[in-house]
A and B are shown apart, each in its own frame.
Chain A
Amino acid sequence: MSPSFRGLEIRPLRGLAWRFSFPVLTAAACIFLFAFGYSYFYIRSLILNDAGRDAESVTMATVSRVEVILKGVERPPAFLARRLEGTKPPLREIQRQIIDLLQTNPEIFGSAVAYEPYGYDEKSLYFAPYVCRSPYGGLAPTFLGGDDYRYFYLDWYQIPRELGRPAWSEPYLDEGGGNILMATYSVPFYTWREGERAFLGVVTADISLQWLTQAVRDLTPSQAGFSFLVSRNGVFVAHPREEYVMRQSIFSIAEEHGDGDLRRIGREMIAGGKGFVELKDYFAGERAWLYYAPLPSLGWSVGVVFPAHKLFAGVRKLAAVTLFLGGAGFVALLLVIISVTRGVTQPLVCLAGKARELAGGNLDTEVPVVSSRDEVADLARSFRDMRDSLKVYIRDLTRTTAAKERIESELKIARSIQMSFLPRRFPPFPERREFRVFAVVEPAREVGGDLYDFFLLEGGRLFFAVGDVSGKGMPAALFMAVTKTLLKDAASRCGTPEGALGNLNDRLCEDNEATMFVTIGCGVLAYETGEMTLASGGHNPPVVVAGGRASFVDNPPGILLGVQPGAAYGTARLRLRPGDLVILYSDGVTEAMNEQGEMFSEERLLATVAARAGGTPEEVAGAVLAAVRGFAGGAPQSDDITILVLRYDGPGGP
């Protein structure tokens, strides 16, 4: 027996509960997890979309605000450059105009009008009046240019010159002015020389980028982690990590981490693109998404970083709650299933126990009543019915058995009584040496209908008879007892066999309401002479063994007794010689059957008797009985077997 099967048998409750709950809970868990996963990812994508849109709107708002300011910064130098084309105002006038520009534009930190070498006049290699806001308040006019400051080769001058259009510089740190991040907007202006437009110089406007970096820093939608700003070269202009500012570019970060994706994103950013992309973990210390959009005036790019933990804080909380609820539901479901299963299995377990008790013989076991209206209740009901039927059956059986036992014991007693009717003491007349008689009955049932008898009559005569009552059992036995009693009386009264039979017949016919009958073969032996008279009432012919030869004696006429009142019986007479045998028997001998349905037959009887011709009556009877038994083999005895053997030994005895 396998352990699991044993376990199942020992703990059937767990087996059923398991078989119910495992598939149900597994299916429930699968459905729940699928629904949970789907909703989680769906919500996540919604959040991402929202974050992207949110970032876009917030960023674009900031960008347009910044653009307004930048456009405001771009206009005055453009206006001044325009005015310088074709004219050459005196230095004072230029300075006045610069001061005017600064006074009307508070965002502008400083402004210069820088001419080409010898562009203003032929004596001055450098001519670049510059006015900036003094750290102590007010405006400080000065001049740019010198051997250590050849402004023609600086970006703010060269780039607009070579590009032929206004340009913003890369951000730079103004080392003189307290390391403020600055950027310069430069507008080229031209003159006409020999009919050609010739570059004459640039007008610049310097702005501090503090307000810009602050604006970018403030640009943080609720779910965003931080924002940053990169210049046209990808250099960080604003970033919460101060060590990045002006030192690292988005490309150096990408190189540091071997991140080709970030490099592509950076290129997209500085190319003026917009997008919402996923970043690798290192950028924000965790998985993050980046929204980026350009600052068109500067050609720079703003990035808003959404770290996963902020972005998905809501959905993660929801997920946690959902998982908790799901788990709790799961446990509740488990409990419900266990309780339901227990409700089903408890009665079953109980019934199984009761069945074991019933099997053990305790029919008074209480079968539990199941109140529900389901199959288990049906089972319990059937079970109770079965117990009740069993109880009734067993009670009846007990009663029947007791009755049968009583009958059997009575039959046993009846048999012993019946046998006690028959003379069973052998030799019956030890003082008589003229003859020797022996008889035996082998009833087919406990109480048979065969009889034999012998007794002495006056005048030196022996009466002997063998009868066979119709039917078996108790009625036959009683009829046989009546017959035996009447026969003795009739024989005593008449003294002859035919007379005894006639008398017996008449008396049996009286009040024979059961219409039973009997066959009787009888005879009287005058043992002084060996004269023998035989009569037969429908009985088997007797066998005589005379001179070693066995033969049947022809039956004298006579019908069976108890049927026809007044019937007459004939006689057959013989004279026996000493050593001769007369054998009376019932049809249980000749009609005994073997397993093939063959009868023992008269021939076999004759042969058996002939073989024992010289034997004593006991030997002959025993031989016949043995032959019949041997012939019948295993076949059941169907009729009583009665054998009576008389040996005549002559007046002097053997």
Chain B
Amino acid sequence: MIRDHGARGWNLHCVFGRPLGLFLLLAVCLLVSPGEALPSPPDAYRATFLPQWLPQAQFAGFYVAQAKGFYKARGIDLTILKGGPDLPAGPALAAGRADFVTLFLAEALKLRDRGLDLVNIAQLVQRSGFILVANRQRGIVRPEDLNGKKVSLWTDFQTQPLAFFRRYGVEVRPVVQGSTVNLFLRGGVDAACAMWYNEYHTILSAGIDENELTVFFFDRHGLNFPEDGIYARRETCLREPELCRRFVAATLEGWEYAFGHPEEALQIVMKAMEEANVMGNRVHQRWMLNRMRDLMGVGDSGTPLGVLRREDYRRVAEELEKNGLIKASPPYGDFHVPLLSRP
């Protein structure tokens, strides 16, 4: 990332200590540069964004904002990198290959715990889309029915399912879940992990009917882990708060546009997928976009877009600490920097 105009990069962090410094800095920034009113030349910023996975409707807002020129209109010359297994978001953020990334909240907390000084500048997905899908024909209708069953679990996302099993006192026979749901489809396991907006639809698209499945939504069992949020290094936020603010504003506009014009958004997403040589079909992406809408709570009277609720943060942090996945968690205010939120 290159900054083109006058230096504003005092290292307040060193002067005031981390949280206080950040707040003061932001306060100063917001006073000194009241949004777009400040004359700033276009293309004042160049930045890089990396979604935590391959192009798909899960990141529709970003692709739409890019395609519709929302970043450009705010003076950001943005490059969206192709995410996926070959380029994990956490390491890329740490290495400075990306200025902004999306991460699950739990993932971000783990990265932070491991020393990556990142901050959440906007929370997108308020509801956990993480679900457990079980084969109803094998007698699984309640959480307790999972006892003794073979359940495939993703190695990286075990906190919610394990907490879920504990909550209902069931012992499952875990199997490592790979990148497909074929093992579940072939009956190799009785239940499998899935994202509601992705693998669940893959299962439906393999000819399994919804009434043949039992679905456990973790957020309905007191285990709501907010997922996708926008993260940046603290250092970026301190140095370029205006860029961060504008990036979030453009992204949220992109999301709102995507939900307002789903077919156009799908077009844009499909194009991004094609360019990245990712296979996919429109029906699946439509499902994903609709579920993102549900999970982001758009239209709900609840949390404004962009805000990370303190209780959600607490819950995730405590659950991770309890499982020893993190040693400690930073204070809420130090982790979430609400640069902008949409009511």
Contacts and interface: CB of A to CB of B under 8 A. Distances in A.
Contact of B177 (A153, A161, A163, A250): A153
Contacts of B206: 232-235, 249, 251, 270
Contacts of A256: 282-283
A113 interface: no
Interface string A153-189: 1110011011100010110010000000000000000
A152 B279 contact: no
Nearest to A161: B188
Given A234-B206, A266-B207, A247 B280 contact: yes
B157 to A, nearest CB: 14
B54 interface: no
Contacts of A167: 186
Contacts of B284: 252
Task: State the main secondary structure of chain B at its contact with A.
Answer: loop
Considering the complex of A and B, which 10 residue pairs feature the smallest CB-CB distances, nearest first? Answer: A162-B188, A233-B206, A153-B178, A252-B283, A251-B205, A155-B182, A256-B283, A267-B207, A255-B283, A234-B207
Interface in B152-190: 175-180, 182-183, 185-189
A155 B282 contact: no
Interface of A: 152-155, 158-159, 161-163, 167, 169-170, 173, 232-235, 246-253, 255-256, 263, 266-267, 270
B188 A163 contact: yes
Instruction: Select the residue from B186, B204, B205, B207 with max chain A CB neighbours within 10 A.
Output: B207
Nearest to B282: A256
Contacts of B74: none
B150 interface: yes
B281 interface: yes
Nearest to A256: B283
22 contacts: A153-B176, A154-B178, A154-B179, A155-B178, A155-B182, A158-B178, A161-B188, A162-B183, A162-B188, A162-B189, A163-B187, A232-B186, A232-B206, A233-B207, A247-B279, A248-B283, A251-B205, A252-B205, A255-B204, A255-B283, A256-B282, A267-B209
Interface in B273-322: 279-284
Contacts of A235: 206
A170 B182 contact: yes
Given A155-B182, A252-B281, A162 B175 contact: yes
Nearest to A168: B186
B202 to A, nearest CB: 8
A170 B180 contact: yes
A154 B209 CA distance: 25
B182 A233 contact: yes
A169 B284 CA distance: 22
Contacts of A249: 205-207, 281
Nearest to B177: A153
A255 B288 CA distance: 14
Interface in B249-295: 279-284
A234 B176 CA distance: 25
B283 A263 contact: no
Given A251-B204, A252-B205, A256-B283, A162 B182 contact: no
A273 to B, nearest CB: 12
Contacts of A247: 279-281
A275 to B, nearest CB: 15
A424 to B, nearest CB: 132
A270 B206 CA distance: 9
Contact of B279 (A153, A158, A246): A246
Contact of B150 (A152, A162, A232, A270): A162
A251 B189 CA distance: 22
Nearest to A249: B205
Nearest to B155: A153
Contacts of B281: 247-249, 252
B182 to A, nearest CB: 5
Contacts of B150: 162
Contacts of B187: 163
A250 B206 CA distance: 8
Contacts of B283: 248, 252-253, 255-256
A159 B204 contact: no
A162 B185 CA distance: 12
A263 B177 contact: no
Contacts of A162: 150, 175, 183, 188-189
B179 to A, nearest CB: 8
Nearest to B187: A163
B127 to A, nearest CB: 23
